Structure 1
Amino acid sequence: MKLSKTTSRVTLGTVFVAAYVVVATSSWTVEPAPAEPIAHEAGEMESTSQRLKGGLIECASPNPELAHELARDIARSLANRASRASMVLYDRTTDTSCAYGADKHYDSASIVKPIILGALLLARSDHLSEDEQELAREMIVSSDNDATYTLWDSVGTENIQEFLDKAGMEDTILDEAGLMGLTQVTARDQATLLELLTGEDNSVLNAEERAYILGLMRNVQEDQRWGAPAGAPSGAAVQVKNGWLQRSERVKDPWDSGDWKVNSMGAFTGRAYDYGLVVLTENNRVPEGESPGVGWDYGMETIERVAKAVHRDLYPDRTPAAAGSPGRR
């Protein structure tokens, strides 16, 4: 891959995305129930499910105690949260996985951006121009929407769809009106993307291309390093991409007015680490008379509750990285 020094810049745009579609929703609250271990013969994978209102958290691991703890603690982290959430965890080191609402569709917001970059690399046959490299940096590191739409239009939806097909992201649906932030994604597909980027399969992107995307995600600006990295081990290399958008006031269903969509995906690598976490949320409400940021903060808190539980259970003896919530820009 021939990546040359970048020479051009684009003007930073807003990270706000106004959506003009209607999604019918209703309020709900998750409630933990006792974990339900599924017995297996010795030496086999142990699976545990934790029932929540709206579905099951399902965890599997060769370590039965770890599977049980993860299912229990993820349930506790989501208990009494008014927003809806889905999550997927994979850990290659411990051969552990968890999923909750993994196939439910959400507005992508900015977590679609690594997909766009993957499609661009696939379409350009190992070569990006200096302008494309600078636009890619602005898109991932700064989450700039103007840069994103320039690349979205340049690569084209046919090439983006080709990337999705090759990557096995079968449930990701591009918005027909061309609004990148309204791409419909699932936690399972986003985890598939993280596994592709951190794996060794060269059939979609080669090692240099994968490292290029991860390098940009590793250098996301400080005020956007919230969410999945919260509580991560200090020795892990953290690659993150977050996304957030607020529903337009023009929607017909009053429930959607002011509703925040807040998503986070992170890959944790280096040393003995090789795992990924995706948490998607919606219906992060803004109470009447409150600042719009209240809904955004609520979604971020929901994600970080899950993330801290996951990191703590996977690696309880590792010192957590300094992880906070620096806020929006």
Structure 2
Amino acid sequence: MSTLVGRKIRKGKELAFSEIASKVTLGVVVVAVSTSAVAPASTATVAPASTATVAPDSRATVSHETRSIKFTSQRLKGRLIECTSENPGLAQFLTRDIAKSLENRASQASVVLYDRNTRTSCTYGADKHYDSASTVKPIILGALLLDRGVDLSEEEQDLARQMIVSSDNDATYALWESLGHKNIQNFLDKAGMKNTILNDAGFMGLTQVTARDQAKLLELLTAEDNSVLNAEERTYILDLMRDVQEDQRWGTPAGAPSDAAVQVKNGWLQRSQNRLKNPWDRGDWKVNSMSAVTGHAYDYGLVVLTENNRVPEDESPEVGWDYGMETVEAVAKAIHHDLKAPPATGRPGLL
């Protein structure tokens, strides 16, 4: 395991190289594009292939409707994009546009969206594990508030603000070590984040997260359920995420409604300092972003996790970081666009 420490200023943005990198051997994903029909989410079963007619265009979206809930699916790079919605047409548009935003990207990506207003949800690779990078930081703050409430010491308040607003790693480790593995795991258990795995060696940025679990965290923070954190504690976290410094408000906020409150936390991690011979360890970047969009009748959350954002030979490291950011923002812009102007009920020509 190698260590990489440092900061660069580029194009007015502060690029904080991760303090930790790990050598990971991964399998190659074979890209396959086809269609599949999916049963309602409540049954979690896949309909037999014989029940669906596949259009000549292998990228076509397959749609069904049950009890006024529209659900669609489209296969992209060996995995299904699946969307459901009460709004006829919205699920289909989201499925199609998520696919378009990712089909020409080399990044491996996972996406989860929920929108309470239209009872819409979308998932793509929702349970695939990624290095968390700094997206673990709201988890750490949640664990701190669960353990101690909002009556934090001045030092804890300062550390919490640095951790979220400026993504300071030293502040994060101070809280990580103060809380200990047990208290952080206790928060994960209570939040139902069963697929989030803390790093045994104590490297916070190598916590294994999934897009589904990160979306559960956003839902927890924006709900009215006091079973894990009370309203004051949830507001404490959201306020800090709303105050994230401007040069770190890229990613899932891209294209968000201008009149919405956008609470964001991003994470970026370069896997290794050296270009190793293993083709899956070439200094590529993990670039993650999560946002809760609220206020003015908005109530939705979006998580996009990416990896395999490669740094080509003889290129500066920022190339891979930029590529990951562009991948995340392509997905975000498509989703925000569809949610801002969803198709009207009964709109003709959608199916």
Q: Same fold (TM over 0.5)?
A: yes
C-alpha contact (below 8 Å) 1:230/1:304 kept by paired residues: yes
Separation of aligned partners in 1, 2:75 and 2:220: 30
Output one character per residue of 1:76-103: Cα deviation in whole Å (capped at 9) or x when no partner.
Answer: 0001111100000000011111000000
* Residue from 22, 30, 33 that aligns with 2:59: 33
Separation of aligned partners in 2, 1:30 and 1:239: 35
- Give the alignment's TM-score, normalised by structure 2: 0.83
* Identical positions, percent: 71
Q: CA deviation at 1:23?
A: 3.2
* Residue from 297, 301, 313 that aligns with 1:288: 313
* Residue from 169, 175, 181 that aligns with 1:151: 175
Tell me if 1:65 matches 2:89: yes
Separation of aligned partners in 2, 1:237 and 1:267: 8
C-alpha contact (below 8 Å) 2:133/2:207 kept by paired residues: yes
* Residue from 206, 231, 234 that aligns with 2:258: 234
Separation of aligned partners in 2, 1:14 and 1:281: 17
Equivalence for 1:259: 284
Output one character per residue of 1:133-168: Cα deviation in whole Å (capped at 9) or x when no partner.
Answer: 000000000000000000000011100000000000
Counterpart of 1:290 in structure 2: which amino acid? E
Q: CA deviation at 1:255?
A: 1.9
Match of 2:237, SS state, is: helix
Separation of aligned partners in 2, 1:204 and 1:115: 12
Match of 1:245, SS state, is: strand
Tell me if 1:310 matches 2:335: yes
Separation of aligned partners in 2, 1:237 and 1:30: 38
* Residue from 115, 118, 135 that aligns with 1:91: 115
Equivalence for 1:323: none
Q: Which structure's CA Rg is the greater one?
A: 2
Counterpart of 1:280 in structure 2: which amino acid? L
C-alpha contact (below 8 Å) 2:131/2:207 kept by paired residues: yes
Q: Which runs of 5+ in 1 are unaligned?
A: 1-11, 318-329
Equivalence for 1:55: 79
Tell me if 1:174 matches 2:205: no
* Residue from 205, 221, 226 that aligns with 1:202: 226
Counterpart of 1:19 in structure 2: which amino acid? A
Q: How many residues align?
A: 304
C-alpha contact (below 8 Å) 1:121/1:209 kept by paired residues: yes
**Structure 1 residues 23, 64: CA separation in 2 closer, same or farther (over 3 Å shift)?**
farther
Separation of aligned partners in 2, 1:188 and 1:69: 21
Separation of aligned partners in 1, 2:78 and 2:315: 28
C-alpha contact (below 8 Å) 1:15/1:143 kept by paired residues: no
Separation of aligned partners in 1, 2:277 and 2:146: 39
- Give the alignment's TM-score, normalised by structure 1: 0.89
Question: 1:125-164 to 2 correspondence within 5 Å?
Answer: 125-164=149-188
Equivalence for 2:38: none
C-alpha contact (below 8 Å) 1:17/1:109 kept by paired residues: no
Counterpart of 2:307 in structure 1: which amino acid? E
* Residue from 295, 301, 308 that aligns with 1:270: 295
Separation of aligned partners in 2, 1:171 and 1:16: 23
Equivalence for 2:47: none
Separation of aligned partners in 2, 1:243 and 1:55: 24
Equivalence for 1:3: none
Q: CA deviation at 1:271?
A: 1.2
**Structure 1 residues 13, 128: CA separation in 2 closer, same or farther (over 3 Å shift)?**
farther
- With CA pairs under 8 Å and 6+ residues apart, which has the higher RCO, 1 or 2? 1
Q: CA deviation at 1:214?
A: 0.3
* Residue from 230, 246, 269 that aligns with 1:245: 269
Q: CA deviation at 1:13?
A: 11
Match of 2:280, SS state, is: helix
Counterpart of 1:65 in structure 2: which amino acid? G
C-alpha contact (below 8 Å) 1:47/1:61 kept by paired residues: yes
Separation of aligned partners in 2, 1:190 and 1:213: 14
* Residue from 187, 203, 212 that aligns with 1:188: 212
Separation of aligned partners in 2, 1:285 and 1:125: 41
Match of 2:89, SS state, is: helix
C-alpha contact (below 8 Å) 1:113/1:148 kept by paired residues: yes
Separation of aligned partners in 2, 1:139 and 1:23: 30
Separation of aligned partners in 2, 1:134 and 1:69: 43
